[in-house]
Structure 1
Amino acid sequence: MHHSGPDRRRAAWQVAWRATLLGVALSLLGGCAQLGYYGQSLSGHLSLVRAAKPVDEWLAQPDLDPSLRRQLALTVSLREFASAQLGLPDNDSYRRYADLKRGAAVWNVVATPELSLQLRTWCYPIMGCAGYRGYFKPEAAQAMAAELRSQGLEPYVYGVPAYSSLGWSNWLGGDPLLNTFIQYPEGQLARMLFHELAHQVAYASDDTTFNESFATAVEQLGVARWLATRPDALKEDEQARVRQDQVQVLLRTGREQLQSVFQSTASDDEKRAAKAEVFVRLRRDYEVLKRDQWGGDTRYDRWIAGLNTAALAIQGSYTDLVPDFIRLFERQGQDWPRFYAEVRRLAALPREARRAELAQGVVATSEVRSDRVDAPTPN
């Protein structure tokens, strides 16, 4: 819907009024120590909403940058595909665009104990508990990291190009497309949209790995279907996908080695030394991979250099359960609504029961139909 004149002003007042009500609700749910955090979260999200305007309004501008025009037009097709072919929500999210004039939507802080891969968690109204804490200003994220470091934890701060409000902000205009990811190559842009929309389908309030792995499975299955009929984009995507998978293998190996170190009976000093060696080995293997197979591609250099235990832990949350979700999709006959219904059922279970059923392949719904076509090979 387009707003102009009084309609646009009325829409702006509605956004402000709804935001005020949300702020009151948050103040009732949190103590004084949390109000500052909730305040920056609310104002930061509202700044995104207010900066965004419908994609068709951007496309109507005759002087719009051609590359931005191309990418925005692509998102229209991706958004339609997401709802029509993947069963993802057909709502206001990702139908508006905002240029934030910065390189990240938010900055996340994650942390682990020095000798553990267990993420520290924070609990919030609406979304429950998660293994990260997001800030709309990098200085605030770094301040939080310093506080965690003073508590003996090992923090990691990273910029996030997009995040999901889990659908609750659709009444404020929906989660917008952002300059932080709009220029991604086609396959990567598709992954971003499918992943974030998946968070609006199912969400376990106490299980970051379940939530992120589910969204990653949806993005992998979805982008395979999208690219299956777009050979040029598929070819462009293949190299980046292969290299990303190779990096994930290195990270998974590093996590497994660290887990073995942390669970051993060695002394803490011995564990610290072994931990340092794991990171030396990981970076060395990366340099060999880059030199021997990538022709010197440096795109991951800065990220690999900054890795620590917390960074490895949060990366694992995006991938560890993906194979289980893909198998679940197959057991549901590659039927998106049935798959989502089963994931929602699992999300409502206690965490241990949820994980056990997902790992064991328990199917609580009716028998899988046999008339489904095979899904393309996932990423």
Structure 2
Amino acid sequence: MNFLRHQKCLASIVAVWVLLGLSGCAQTGYYWQSVSGHVKLMQAARPIDAWLADPQASPALKQRLQLAQAIRQFAVTALHLPDNASYQRYADLQRRHVVWNVVAAPEFSLTLKTWCFPVAGCVGYRGYFEQAAAEREAAALRAQGWEVSVYGVPAYSTLGWMNWLGGDPLLNTFIHFPDGELARMLFHELAHQVVYVADDTVFNESFATAVERLGGAAWLAQATPAARDAFAQHDARRQQFRALTRRTREQLENVYMQNEALAPVNTVQAAMKNKVMADFRQAYAALKTSWGGFAGYDPWVAGANNAALGAQAAYDDLVPAFEALFERQGRDWRRFYDAVIALARLPQAERLQQLSSPQVQTTL
């Protein structure tokens, strides 16, 4: 199970910049893998109708593609998400993930290392279409003293910038997700096409996660009882796990803040950090027992560190504020998007202050 399954494919976004001539000559190798990986993906995609008419395509795949079409239509009519070329085609990449992301953080901080690019600004991850390339980048960062996490990402987005070439396709890496999860993932990625702010990953991902959650609840309300029951079980575990990781982040932040004046190498601070992580893994073991042995988060927990926890924070921190804003807009999707777009035009500090304030008005 991919805990960060919604994170955008930065490698594909970089490919857009290169194709449009927006990048410089630096990091040529990284840009080249972005372009070649993106082109291969686009070449593999075919219209959904072509797959549905293909006698070689399995009935199971056809059923998932038809479901995806229905979800895509719901996104447009009920959630007022963009009606464009995205997710109107499908590609089988013959691998489990579309891209592998690399994130890094210092030994005593949850603040992620950032990479900066034209147009999209600075982000706290770097995406690769080949796992081996991601692992090489991770090894280089570890040699520099960073804590590093590498994880596969099944979702794919170019923020709508490639709709003129056919849009982002549905992929084998996520098409067989449970019904509720497939719907939420598509809503999340389409939300990025409504608003994207350079240099503010937390704002972008928290907004998309809020759309995913709110839109997912609306979709499930009209779904089958079986889909609702399956999602309820999955989501209950997810919320418990996120609560655990949120507490762990808060505890680590306290450790780092209280000891920030200490020398970079400090055995007391290291011991406190190790105690927090040990408690985290012990609490997770208890959760697994309560789940009847469900082990879907095992790989993430095994590699949990500052980098992994810091990356997860981008998807959680502002979600309650966006959900509150949705309520203040009368649960009207168009008004909600307009309010978020207005926030996006503000300087980052003012944007955060406005979003977090209970005094934000519906006329924002």
Q: TM-score, normalised by structure 1?
A: 0.88
Q: Who is 1:298 aligned against?
A: 295
Q: Who is 1:284 aligned against?
A: 282
Counterpart AA for 1:238 = A
In 1, Cα distance between equivalents of 2:161 and 2:293:
44
Q: Who is 1:275 aligned against?
A: 273
Please state how far the C-alpha of 1:62 moved relative to its aligned partner.
2.8
In 2, Cα distance between equivalents of 1:154 and 1:96:
38
Is 1:249 the counterpart of 2:251? The answer is no
Is 1:23 the counterpart of 2:21? The answer is no
Three-state SS of the structure 2 residue aligned to 1:174 is: coil
Greater shift after overlay, 348-357 or 244-253? Answer: 348-357
Aligned pair partner of 2:254 in 257, 260, 265: 260
Please state how far the C-alpha of 1:324 moved relative to its aligned partner.
0.2
In angstroms, what is the RMSD of aligned CA positions? 1.8
In 2, Cα distance between equivalents of 1:139 and 1:363:
47
Counterpart AA for 1:104 = H
1:279-324 CA distance string (max 9 Å, x none)? 1111110111111x21111111122111111100111110111000
Please state how far the C-alpha of 1:114 moved relative to its aligned partner.
0.8
- From the two aligned structures, give the one with the greater helix fraction: 1
Is 1:136 the counterpart of 2:129? The answer is yes
Q: Who is 2:8 aligned against?
A: none
Please state how far the C-alpha of 1:366 moved relative to its aligned partner.
2.7
Structure 1 segments unaligned to the other structure (5+ residues): 1-18, 368-379
**Using a 3 Å threshold, how does the CA distance of structure 1 residues 79 and 324 change in structure 2: closer, same or farther?**
same
Percent of aligned pairs with the same residue?
Answer: 55
Three-state SS of the structure 2 residue aligned to 1:109 is: strand
Preserved CA contact (<8 Å) 1:342 1:364: no
Please state how far the C-alpha of 1:128 moved relative to its aligned partner.
1.7
In 1, Cα distance between equivalents of 2:182 and 2:259:
45
Counterpart AA for 1:309 = N
Q: Who is 1:120 aligned against?
A: 113
Q: Who is 2:57 aligned against?
A: 64
Aligned pair partner of 2:206 in 210, 213, 216: 213
Counterpart AA for 2:142 = R
Preserved CA contact (<8 Å) 2:45 2:91: yes
Preserved CA contact (<8 Å) 2:90 2:169: yes
Please state how far the C-alpha of 1:348 moved relative to its aligned partner.
2.1
Please state how far the C-alpha of 1:84 moved relative to its aligned partner.
0.8
In 2, Cα distance between equivalents of 1:124 and 1:80:
33
Preserved CA contact (<8 Å) 1:324 1:359: yes
Structure 2 segments unaligned to the other structure (5+ residues): 1-13
Q: TM-score, normalised by structure 2?
A: 0.91
Preserved CA contact (<8 Å) 1:131 1:208: yes
Three-state SS of the structure 1 residue aligned to 2:103 is: strand
Preserved CA contact (<8 Å) 2:41 2:93: yes
Please state how far the C-alpha of 1:361 moved relative to its aligned partner.
3.6
Counterpart AA for 1:128 = G
1:80-106 CA distance string (max 9 Å, x none)? 000111011100001100000111010
Structure 1 or 2, whichever has the larger Rg, is: 1
1:29-58 CA distance string (max 9 Å, x none)? 32x332221221122112111100011110
In 2, Cα distance between equivalents of 1:270 and 1:22:
46
Q: Who is 2:343 aligned against?
A: 346
Please state how far the C-alpha of 1:139 moved relative to its aligned partner.
1.1
Counterpart AA for 1:192 = M
Q: Tell me the number of residue pairs that the alignment of Structure 1 and Structure 2 aligns.
A: 346
Please state how far the C-alpha of 1:270 moved relative to its aligned partner.
1.3
Q: 1:1-379, aligned counterparts within 5 Å?
A: 23=18, 25-26=20-21, 29-30=23-24, 32-230=25-223, 231-265=225-259, 267=262, 268-291=266-289, 293-363=290-360, 365-366=362-363
Preserved CA contact (<8 Å) 1:107 1:137: yes
Greater shift after overlay, 133-142 or 37-46? Answer: 37-46
